[in-house]
Amino acid sequence: MRILVVEDEPDLAHAIAVGLRREGYAVDVAELGGDAVEKLALTPYDLVCLDLNLPDMDGLEVCRTIRSGEVAGEVAPRVLMLTARDSLEDRVAGLDDGADDYLVKPFAFPELLARLRALARRDVAQAGARLEVGGLALDAAKREAWYANQDLELTAKEFALLRYFMLHAGEVLSSERLLDHVWDEHADPFTNTVRVTVSNLRRKLRTVGATDAIETVVGAGYRLAESP
């Protein structure tokens, strides 16, 4: 899952980005509203953590840009506003301008993670943080994955990749789509990073008996079997 953090306080932006990356998310950062609008026009994000108090434009304007459809990708990203504006009027204005949720600063990082998971679940037919596809299971809150009751020891990126596959089980996912949603803007699109990570994930799945979980669709990408 790829997230854009729009925050003009460098230390806070860095702390959020580092924390989210440790949880396996792909994270880009913009310190200005204009930069955020440019990134949104070029990259299909899944979620945006948006500060309202930006030096060049109000965060509400960025949110209205997202809701107007002037963004990359087929589906506009979910928006979580992060702001010190805590009055009822501010919260109502933010939600009315298209925010999906509103978190007042200062906030606890675990709550930020929980709210992001809740927003992500709105787009999939899942009741909680746990995903199940055939014998595969994954708990995003606990950062655990297993197959047939056998634990999978995954890196943060492998965990993020498996989660994206499970959210889109049965779909053919191109390397470009995986790069867009599981890696951040620092990933080199001309390297074989997707192929290598898929290969490593496959190897670990095979060790627990999920031998045919991820299929290569020649010329198109990869597909997670709906009953691995």
Q: Cβ of 60: how many Cβ atoms within 10 Å?
A: 21
CA distance 99 to 67: 9
Judged against a pLDDT cut of 50, whether residue 36 lies above it is answered with yes
pTM above 0.85, yes or no: no
- Residue-level pLDDT at 129: 66
3-state secondary structure (DSSP) of residue 112: helix
| pLDDT value at 2 more than 50 | yes
**φ/ψ bin of 134: left (φ > 0), alpha (ψ from -120 to 50), beta (otherwise):** left
Axis-axis angle for helices 59-67, 33-42 (nearest 10): 20
The CA-based diameter of the chain, rounded to the nearest angstrom, is 54
Helices 175-182, 156-167: crossing angle, 10 deg rounding: 120
Give me the half-sphere count of Cα atoms (radius 13 Å) on the Cβ side of residue 166. Answer: 25
∠ CA 44-48-52, nearest 5°, is: 135
The tens digit of pLDDT for each residue in 85-120 reads 777 887 787 788 788 999 999 999 999 999 998 887
Hey, what CATH class is 2-121 in? alpha beta
CB 48 within 8 A of CB 37: no
Per-residue pLDDT at 32: 96
Angle made by CA atoms 168, 112, 136, in degrees to the nearest 5: 30
Q: Which position has the higher pLDDT, 125 or 24?
A: 24
- Residues 188-205 have pLDDT tens digits of 777 899 999 999 999 999
| Residue that is written with structure tokens 């056998």 in the block | 150
Residue 123: per-residue pLDDT = 57
Question: Residue type for 134, please?
Answer: G
The domain spans of the chain are 2-121, 130-224
> What confidence tens digit (pLDDT) does each residue in 37-81 have?
999 999 999 999 999 889 999 899 999 999 888 898 778 899 999
Note the pLDDT tens digit of each residue in 111-154: 999 999 888 776 554 445 688 898 999 988 788 999 988 999 99
Give the separation between CA 104 and CA 181, rounded to whole angstroms: 27
Q: Which residues contact 12 (CB under 8 A, 6 or more apart)?
A: none
**Length reported for the chain:** 228
CATH architecture of the region 130-224: Orthogonal Bundle (1.10)
